Amino acid sequence: MSDGRLKLYWATGLVGLAGGYLASRVGWPLPWMVGSLLAIILVRCLTPWQLSEIPGGRKCGQWIIGIGIGLHFTPAVVEQVASNFGLIFCGALITSVSSVVGVWLLRRTGEDRATAFFSSMPGGSGEMVNLGARNGAVLSQVAAAQSLRVLAVVLCVPALFKFLLGNGVPLTHAGSVHWGWLVVICPLGVLLALGWQRLKQPNPWLFGPLLVAAVASVSANLQVALPDGASQIGQWLIGSGLGCHFNRAFFRRAPSFLGRTLIATALTMLIAGLAACVLSVMTNLDLRSLTLGMMPGGIAEMSLTAETLQLSVPLVTALQVMRLLFVLFLAEPLFRHWDKRCD
């Protein structure tokens, strides 16, 4: 590694910290993620300084956040989530099906079937690019659409929730730091993440630690939390990593395609909000938690938003995970069936 590259890595962290600090001072929701994300995008777009992603930084951030999410699971919470499995299933299914809006919009403006389909699916960027590669999609456009969707949701949803809906009702997770348990859970999370990654499973550095922490928390009925500042470090690392995917060339590339992607994302978010209203009336569950869980964003980002706004982190996580499973297992078979029928 050259000294120049090393300096860029250090600069990435410092710019992200500066952005996070400024966002925290103005009271922006998820300040250390959104602030670092915006600061790095601005530097990469407005200056010739192309900041590089911190090696392993985003993985480390996901590891921290995954453990924090998992520690929210307790026997009582798991029982509540299990009792609403049908609702979680329906909510995730509605969110997945709503991506048809994006497919239709991109097809109407000339994109090929594979590119339109895998650009619109609300799954992880890496997973959708891999599926698109197997089915003849234009990979640069799939990656751009997936990145822009996450960017739009991360920037808009926390702000809308914070300033329009206010905070949720505080939930019973008054955990304290227990270093004995954390010393066991944290390295086990790394080991499971490495194993998950070796098996080429999605989001290994989020799901591995999350699973370890959740199993430990539920089986031992823990009331354990991460130390103060851990969540902010995770936000900073994830936001800094996300920001390095954007520069002037990204926003200049096929502006009409990116514009249609933003419209499709907005429509999908609107459908998710309306569906959450209906499900909330039917079940009396918290509207804000349902809405957040059905948003087409990343699991880590939406779960962090739930934690910051004192909403039901397990319910939001369950909805997000269920949607991801739908997309990962059903997207390719459905696309091939559609493609075959259209030929």
**φ, ψ (nearest 5 deg) of residue 308:** -65, -40
Residues 6+ apart with CB under 8 A from 60: 205, 234, 237
- Give the chain's end-to-end CA distance (angstroms, integer): 50
In this structure, are residues 137 and 114 in contact, taking their beta carbons and an 8 Å threshold? yes
pTM of the prediction? 0.85
CA angle, corner 119, sides to 117 and 123, nearest 5?
A: 95
Give the mean pLDDT of the chain: 87
Residue 177 scores a pLDDT above 70: yes
The pLDDT > 90 percentage for the chain reads: 42
What pLDDT shows up at residue 304?
86
Region 176-184 average pLDDT? 88
> Given this model, what pLDDT does residue 5 score?
52
pLDDT tier at 170, thresholds 50, 70, 90: very low
- Which residue in the block uniquely carries the two structure tokens 């919470």? 77
Higher local confidence (pLDDT), 223 or 103: 103
Asked whether the predicted pLDDT for residue 166 surpasses 70, the reply is: no
Which range, of 41-50, 118-127, 187-196, averages the lowest pLDDT?
118-127
For the cut 80, the answer to whether the pLDDT of residue 176 exceeds it is: no
Question: How long, in residues, is the chain?
Answer: 343
pLDDT value at 1 more than 60: no
CA angle 182, 186, 191 (to 5 degrees): 150
Query: Comparing 12-16, 41-45, 198-202, 268-272, which segment has the lowest mean pLDDT?
Result: 198-202
DSSP run (H or E) holding 31: helix 31-46
Give the pLDDT confidence of 212-221 residue by residue, as tens digits. Answer: 999 999 998 8
1-5, 36-40, 145-149, 286-290: segment of lowest average pLDDT: 1-5
Q: What is the mean pLDDT of residues 38-45?
A: 93
3-state secondary structure 273-313: HHHHHHHHHHHCCCHHHHHHHHCCCCHHHHHHHHHHCCCCH
Domains and CATH numbers, the chain: 3-342 (1.20.1530)
What is the average per-residue pLDDT within 30-48?
92
Tell me, what's the pLDDT at 172?
Answer: 45
> Residues 58-78: what's their mean pLDDT?
90
Average pLDDT of 278-289? 86
Percent of the residues in the chain that have a pLDDT greater than 70, as a whole number: 94
Q: Considering only residues 181 and 298, tell me which one the structure prediction assigns the higher pLDDT.
A: 181
**Comparing 156-170, 180-194, 319-333, which segment has the lowest mean pLDDT?**
156-170
Asked if pLDDT for residue 245 goes beyond 60, the answer is yes
pLDDT band at 165 (very low <50, low <70, confident <90, very high): low
pLDDT, tens only, 83-108? 888 888 998 999 889 999 999 999 98
Would you say residue 257 has pLDDT above 70? Answer: yes
Token couple for 106: 């991109």
202 to each of 60, 96, 126, 275, 292, how far by Cα in Å?
16, 17, 8, 27, 21
CB 115 within 8 A of CB 139: no
Lowest mean pLDDT among 176-180, 289-293, 316-320: 176-180
